[in-house]
Structure 1
Amino acid sequence: MSADRRSSLLLADRELRRLLRQGTFAQVLDHCLNAHGLSLKRLQQQLAARGVRISRAALSYWRNGRSRPERDESLRTVRALEDLFGLPESTLVSLLGPPRPRGRSAEPGSVDRKRMWPAHDSLLTSLAAPADDRLRYLTIHEHVRVDADRRLAEVRTRLVVEAQRDHVDCCLVYQWVEESELPQLVEPRFCRLGRIRRDEVAGATVCELILDQRLAARERAVVDYTWRFPAGPELTSYHRRFTRSARELVLQVGFGGTAPVHCVPYQQRTPTATPRQGSPLWIGMSNTAHLVVEDVRPGIVGLSWEWD
């Protein structure tokens, strides 16, 4: 295709020009497929006619942002896509940026989800759960209510999340109890409840929350939900688990009856690691303990208290 013909096609497609300025590789690929009326099967065939072999699964992953081309043979495919779609040379290649780190170093300090939530492993498998690096948790605001009988009654949570790739439309939330019946997730806001998996013996629950909108990379969303707990044993601690870093955690524990005599924050790397305690917290007239942590590292952050 001549350079003049390529320029004419580009000028005629306003949305494509916008995506090339502000969008991602996945968004541009998706737009070009739709604009040319191509299915992944037909695209695969046209690439094969140019001597380029690639699976439909790989093309699908590129299209939805689950992965991106980085190897030499993949970049050859991208250049063939530029020619097929009539785009100027390096138009798509320039959207890829530098190669991402691979393996364990892809996100320094992260903790494997199965290690952080060992009781939930079979539930995640049954859900065919996607990787948990699709969303970054920017802010977590959690309010825990302990009733007058010193039992956990409910946990209200607000999450501010940011998509780390395109086409993210859900998130998974977890709950674990040691000596009581499983809780119920209620009052989802800015999302709806999707699939639920429970394991009564392990005390584990996983719920899927479907976001109000499908997110592109770097887009953000707010999610609210509440866990309601049946009557259980006397509660002496509560924590939040992080497989990846977060910008801020606000943890409040409100006591419905007499306040504890002593309350301290703690952190630990994994559920089996030794906790590291911080300085005691003040519990004011509201009978509420507040903990604010910025730049949360992967691991566990919580509060523990003594009643008498």
Structure 2
Amino acid sequence: MRRLLRHGTFAQVLDHCLNVNGLSLKRLQDHLAVRGARVSRAALSYWRTGRNRPERDESLRAVRALEDLFGLPESTLVSLLGPPRPRGRAAEPGSVDRKRMWPGHDPLLVALAAPADDRLRYLTVHEHVLVDADRRLAEVRIRMVVEAQRDHVDRFLVYQWVEESDLPELVEPRSCRPGRMRRDRETGATVCELVLDQRLVGGERAVVDFAWRFPPGPELTYYHRRFTRPARELVLQVGFAGNAPAHCVPYRQRTPATAPRQGRPLWIGPSNTAHLVLEDVQPGIAGLSWEWD
């Protein structure tokens, strides 16, 4: 806590206090109400994730109530807020427009009349990629922990793109079901709507599992994950059913149009699996690339 108060943000301190005290957003809302501060759970979720921060007089009264609730010295949290931020669309820092991240998918999103992609936040994303013995992409299994950023969230979109191959099939959904889907065989783009088993209010979380199964395609030499907004954690594992590649490196990109920045080569052990683990993932592309010979 001392380190966070000195070097952290308001959102980080609030998240730490909630975790340490075992408080849900609903219980926090009740505690604030007892102290005369009424705040919606959606607003509390925005404060916790850093998507928004308290600035109005009523919100600042709630912040002072938080200081009392958590036993913090007066103005401890208020001092972390800093000056007010500019309003409007430009006020959302740290994001990449999905048209830049998925340029070939824009017509599909228009056909779906897709809502903005800021209704859910990805907390953790775990992807296990299987490359078959013929060096082709066979399957990607995905587990995601998501958090609603507003009330009445019951679905979200997932994207897939393939090169010189037929389109993949979404299979084995858990805690969700496929909704509307749009595909473009010419560009290899797929957009699928996943409908959650339960409608979420702001701050509530869900765990969803699903997989993409791929028909035979070209030899695979890379795989990546694209983020339009920050996430807490990415775990990317690539398993090779045949011989492991001779060389494998992680890489990052801001968008598909920018040059990749490579990291240090990764060691692949007897399990024939390479893995990449990232925390506090910023918007952009994170992946692995390899050479077979």
Which letter does structure 2 place at the counterpart of 1:124?
A: L
1:188 maps onto 2:169 in alignment = no
- Describe how 1:37-48 pairs up with structure 2 within 5 A: none
1:289 maps onto 2:270 in alignment = no
Question: How far did residue 272 of structure 1 move?
Answer: 1.0
Question: How far did residue 179 of structure 1 move?
Answer: 1.0
Question: How far did residue 108 of structure 1 move?
Answer: 1.2
TM-score under structure 2 length normalisation: 0.73
- Alpha-carbon distance between aligned partners in 1 of 2:170 and 2:276, rounded to the nearest angstrom: 24
Equivalent in 6, 11, 21 of residue 33 of structure 2: 21
Point out 4+ residue stretches in structure 1 off by more than 2 angstroms: 17-27, 98-107
- Alpha-carbon distance between aligned partners in 1 of 2:134 and 2:143, rounded to the nearest angstrom: 26
1:235 maps onto 2:220 in alignment = yes
Question: How far did residue 212 of structure 1 move?
Answer: 1.1
Secondary structure at the aligned position of 2:108 is classed as helix
In structure 2, the CA distance between the partners of 1:101 and 1:129, relative to structure 1 (3 Å rule), is farther
Whichever of the two has the greater Rg, that structure is 1
Question: How far did residue 178 of structure 1 move?
Answer: 1.5
Which letter does structure 2 place at the counterpart of 1:21?
A: A
- Alpha-carbon distance between aligned partners in 1 of 2:231 and 2:149, rounded to the nearest angstrom: 13
Equivalent in 257, 262, 267 of residue 272 of structure 1: 257
Query: Are 2:41 and 2:203, in contact at CA under 8 Å, matched by a contact in 1?
Result: no
- Alpha-carbon distance between aligned partners in 2 of 1:162 and 1:184, rounded to the nearest angstrom: 26
**CA RMSD of the aligned region, Å?**
2.9
**Correspondence for 1:120:** 105
Gaps of 5+ in 1: 1-16, 28-74, 76-89
- Alpha-carbon distance between aligned partners in 2 of 1:101 and 1:256, rounded to the nearest angstrom: 51
Question: How far did residue 282 of structure 1 move?
Answer: 0.7
In structure 2, the CA distance between the partners of 1:268 and 1:192, relative to structure 1 (3 Å rule), is same
- Alpha-carbon distance between aligned partners in 2 of 1:183 and 1:24, rounded to the nearest angstrom: 44
Superposed CA offset, 1:99-156 (max 9, x none): 8853343321210011100110011011111110111101000000000000000000
TM-score under structure 1 length normalisation: 0.70
Secondary structure at the aligned position of 2:206 is classed as strand
Question: How far did residue 18 of structure 1 move?
Answer: 5.7
**Correspondence for 1:38:** none
Secondary structure at the aligned position of 1:155 is classed as strand
Secondary structure at the aligned position of 2:251 is classed as strand
- Describe how 1:61-100 pairs up with structure 2 within 5 A: none
**Correspondence for 1:57:** none
Identity of aligned residues (%): 75
Aligned length: 234
**Correspondence for 1:159:** 144
Question: How far did residue 231 of structure 1 move?
Answer: 0.1
Secondary structure at the aligned position of 1:238 is classed as strand
1:200 maps onto 2:185 in alignment = yes
